[in-house]
């Protein structure tokens, strides 16, 4: 395997998107979902980016890329730029240690942007190592049909009982066994059907603690 899969904590960290079209909008959307501090550099931007600028969610610098634009950036996306710009961004990124992803240009990618399914705190990332992104998209679409809001709600409930559960069952092996018993129960089916009362009861029955 060439690439090492990892989830980055970008909360509050500066990230740059060079380009303002549809592909750039996709990257901005993902970065905002991760809580990044996003700066877009482009002479013009599409509607979604303009709206985000208007609400103060991102910063827009209305010009072409200039050397130095990656200062302090944790990572950068390059979308819809000419080869000279791509090469210049890539060079600066390597010098600064900034992770670079150039859309549909694997040689100028320090990381691969996966196809993502999000359900609250549940994130599933799919990558084909840049060889067949269309396959990753189709797999994502299948997973979107399999994973519903019940998974997001399950994680919300689970997050409220981790500490009480650790206090009740200090032994990690015991907690692990209980978690598997809960996940393998009908709790997700109950949440899917909207029966949260019974789902909460299942938490208490199996884990011995009641979620908030």
User: In a structure prediction context, what are the per-residue pLDDT tens digits for the chain, which is 212 residues long?
Assistant: 578 888 999 999 999 999 999 999 999 999 999 999 999 999 999 999 999 999 999 999 999 999 999 999 999 999 999 999 999 999 999 999 999 999 989 899 999 888 899 999 999 999 988 889 899 999 999 999 999 999 999 999 999 999 999 999 999 999 999 999 999 999 999 999 999 999 999 999 999 999 98
Q: What is the pLDDT of residue 139?
A: 96
> How far, in Å, CA of 120 to CA of 73, rounded?
26
> How far, in Å, CA of 208 to CA of 211, rounded?
10
Q: What is the pLDDT of residue 194?
A: 97
Asked if 15 and 39 count as a contact pair (C-beta separation under 8 A), the reply is yes
> How far, in Å, CA of 28 to CA of 50, rounded?
11
Q: Could you tell me which of 43, 44, 41 has the C-alpha nearest to residue 14?
A: 41
> How far, in Å, CA of 204 to CA of 16, rounded?
45
> How far, in Å, CA of 211 to CA of 15, rounded?
36
Q: What is the pLDDT of residue 48?
A: 95
Q: What is the pLDDT of residue 3?
A: 84
Chain segment 81-130, per-residue pLDDT in tens:
999 999 999 999 999 999 999 998 989 999 988 889 999 999 999 998 88
Residue corresponding to tokens 């980016």: 49
Give residue 68's region: left, alpha or beta (phi > 0; psi -120 to 50). left
Q: What is the pLDDT of residue 1?
A: 54
What's the pTM value of the predicted model, to 2 decimals? 0.81
Q: Could you tell me which of 114, 117, 203, 198 has the C-alpha nearest to residue 156?
A: 203
Residue 160 CA, distance from chain mean position: 22
């Amino acid at each position: 395997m060439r690439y090492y899969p990892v989830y980055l904590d970008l909360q509050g960290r500066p990230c740059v998107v060079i380009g303002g079209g549809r592909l750039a909008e996709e990257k901005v959307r993902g970065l905002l979902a991760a809580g990044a501090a996003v700066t877009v550099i482009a002479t013009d931007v599409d509607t979604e980016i303009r709206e985000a600028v208007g609400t103060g969610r991102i910063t827009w610098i209305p010009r072409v890329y200039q050397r130095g634009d990656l200062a302090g950036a944790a990572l950068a996306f390059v979308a819809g730029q000419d080869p000279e710009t791509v090469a210049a961004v890539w060079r600066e990124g390597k010098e600064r240690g900034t992770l670079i992803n150039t859309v549909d240009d694997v040689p100028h990618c320090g990381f691969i942007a996966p196809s993502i399914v999000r359900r609250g705190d549940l994130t599933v990332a799919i990558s084909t190592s840049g060889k067949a992104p269309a396959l990753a998209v189709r797999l994502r679409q299948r997973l979107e049909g399999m994973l519903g809001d019940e998974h997001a709600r399950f994680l919300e409930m689970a997050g409220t009982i981790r500490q009480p559960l650790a206090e009740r069952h200090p032994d990690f092996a015991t907690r692990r066994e209980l978690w598997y018993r809960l996940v393998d129960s009908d709790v997700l089916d109950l949440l899917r059907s909207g029966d949260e009362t019974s789902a909460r009861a299942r938490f208490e029955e199996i884990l011995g603690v009641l979620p908030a």
